[in-house]
Amino acid sequence: MPDARTIAVDYLARVEGEGSLRVSVVDGTIEDVEFSIFEPPRFFEAFLRGRPFADAPDITARICGICPVAYQMSASHAIEDAFGMRVDGPLRLLRRLLYCGEWIESHALHVYMLHAPDFLGYESAIHMARDQRDVVQRGLRLKKAGNAVVGVLGGREVHPVNVRVGGFYRVPSRHELQRLVPELEWARAAAADTIEWVSTFPFPDLDQDVELVALRHRDEYPFNEGRIVSNRGLDIAVAEYDEHFVEEHVERSNALHSRVRERGSYLVGPAARYSLNFDRLAPDARRLALGAGLGESCTNPFRSIVVRAVEIFQAVDEALRIIAAYEPPPEPFVPVEPRAGVGRGATEAPRGLLYHRYAVDDGGRIVDAQIVPPTAQNQATIEQDLRAVLEANLAMADDELGWLLEQTIRNYDPCISCATHFLDLQVDRRSSTAGGSDG
C-alpha cells in the first residue's frame, strides 16, 4: 500500500508578497523542503545606478509598502556615511520617533490582522471580528496610533514624503507632536493589554538553536544605530558587514539568501532583537514581558507574537518620551556636501536588520547599490523551522498540517515583496516502494 499524499495550498496568505512551499515526504521521512519566492524581480539595485543620491530614500521606500520608513532610514544613514556626516540631536530623535510609528503600525498589523487569527483558528481578522469585534477594533486603533505618528512626521502613512538625506524637509512644531499624546497614552495601555492577550495563545513547541543577529546600542533599544552583534560572538561595526555576511542566489528563487560567512544561517527580527537587547528595554516593557511568561530571550518562533507586542509597548513608550522632551531644531536638516565615497547603513526594520551600501561619485550620483532586506536573511532559518515542525507533526492531517506550516512561516512576518512575495504550498508524501519518483 503506497504511502502517498499531496497537500496543496495554492497561495500562502497573510504575508506581504508571493512565494511557494514544496515538501516531499518519503516513507515518513522528510526528503526536501523548499521555501521559494516567485515575486517578480524589480531590479532596484540596478536602476539606482546613475540616480542622484537624494533619490535613494524615496526610491528604496518603494521596495516595501509595509516598512517604507525602514528603507528611508537605512538609505539616509548609508548616504550620510558616504559623505562623512552625522545627524544628531533633535533630528536624530525625530528619526527615532518616525521609526516608533512604523514599528507600532507594522507590528499591530501583524499581531492582530495577520498572525493572531492562526492561533485562534480564524481565516482572517475579518472573520475574527465576527466573534471578537472589540479585540479587532483595539488592534486597528493601535495600528492607527502608529500611522498617526508616521502621518504627522512623514506626511502620509505609506511612502512618507518628509525624509531626506541629512534629516527632514520640515520639522514638526511642539504642538503638532503634542496632539499625538492622548492617543499614544491610550495606546500604551492597549499595548500592555495586547501583551497579556497574546501571552494566553496556545504555542506549539519549537526550540530554535540558531544564530541571532541584531543591532546593539550602548544605551538604547536599537532602531537607527548600533553595532551588529550575535549570540555566537559576532560584534562588528556596520562598516564590516560585508566581511562577515555573504549573499547567495538560491536556485528556484528570485531572492538572495544571506549567511554568516563562517557559520551559516541566522535569524534577524523581533526575537533576535529582544534576546540580544532585553536589558535595553524600558523597565515597564521588561516587567510586562516577564509577566507574560517570556524569558530574557525568546527561542520559540511561535512566541515571536508576544515579542512583537512587547515591542509595540516599547515603541509607544519611547514615542511618548521623545515627544515630552522635544525641542524643534533650528534647521530641518544638516547641510549635505556630496563627495565620492562608499557608505553603509544598517537599521532595525520591524522585520529585522536592513543593510544598505552605496558607492557615490563626486557629483553625488549613485554608482553602485546593495540592499539586504530582513526576509532574505531569514529565509534559510524559516526552512529549518519548517523541517522541524514537519518532523514533529507528520501524523497530522494534511489540511491541518498545511495551516501549521503557513503559521510557521508567518512567525517571521515575511515580507516577500522585500526579499524580491506568497505561498503555493505542496506537501508531497510518497513511499519509496510506490514507484512515484517524479518529484
Question: Mind giving me the DSSP string for 133-160?
Answer: HHHHHHHHHHHHHHHHHHHHHHSSSSS-
Which residue, 272 or 418, is less far from another protein as judged by CB?
418
- Smallest distance, Å, CB 371 to another protein? 10
Cβ count near 261 (within 10 Å) = 11
What whole-number distance in Å separates Cα of residue 242 and Cα of residue 260?
10
Phi and psi at residue 173, to the nearest 5°: -75, 165
- Smallest distance, Å, CB 248 to another protein? 7
Which residue, 62 or 286, is less far from another protein as judged by CB?
62
- Written as nine digits, the cell of 385 is 523551522
Amino acid identity of residue 100, one-letter, is C
List, in sequence order, every beta strand (DSSP E) within 328-391.
341-349, 352-360, 366-372
What whole-number distance in Å separates Cα of residue 115 and Cα of residue 259?
27
Answer for the pair 333, 167: CB distance below 8 angstroms, yes or no.
yes
**By C-alpha distance, which of 378, 343, 305 is closest to 108?**
305
- Smallest distance, Å, CB 148 to another protein? 10
Which residue, 254 or 408, is less far from another protein as judged by CB?
254
What whole-number distance in Å separates Cα of residue 122 and Cα of residue 131?
10
Which residue, 5 or 49, is less far from another protein as judged by CB?
49
- Smallest distance, Å, CB 349 to another protein? 14
Containing H/E element for 366?
Answer: strand 366-372
- Smallest distance, Å, CB 321 to another protein? 25
- Residue 162 DSSP symbol: -
Which residue, 164 or 321, is less far from another protein as judged by CB?
164
- Smallest distance, Å, CB 251 to another protein? 6
- Smallest distance, Å, CB 355 to another protein? 15
Which residue, 3 or 45, is less far from another protein as judged by CB?
45
**By C-alpha distance, which of 349, 102, 344, 111 is closest to 222?**
349
- Smallest distance, Å, CB 47 to another protein? 4
Distances (CA, A) of 185 to 85, 181, 288, 324, 427: 35, 6, 16, 12, 47
Which residue, 170 or 261, is less far from another protein as judged by CB?
170
Is residue 16 left, alpha or beta, with left meaning phi > 0 and alpha meaning psi from -120 to 50? beta
Which residue, 39 or 311, is less far from another protein as judged by CB?
39
- Residue 88 DSSP symbol: -
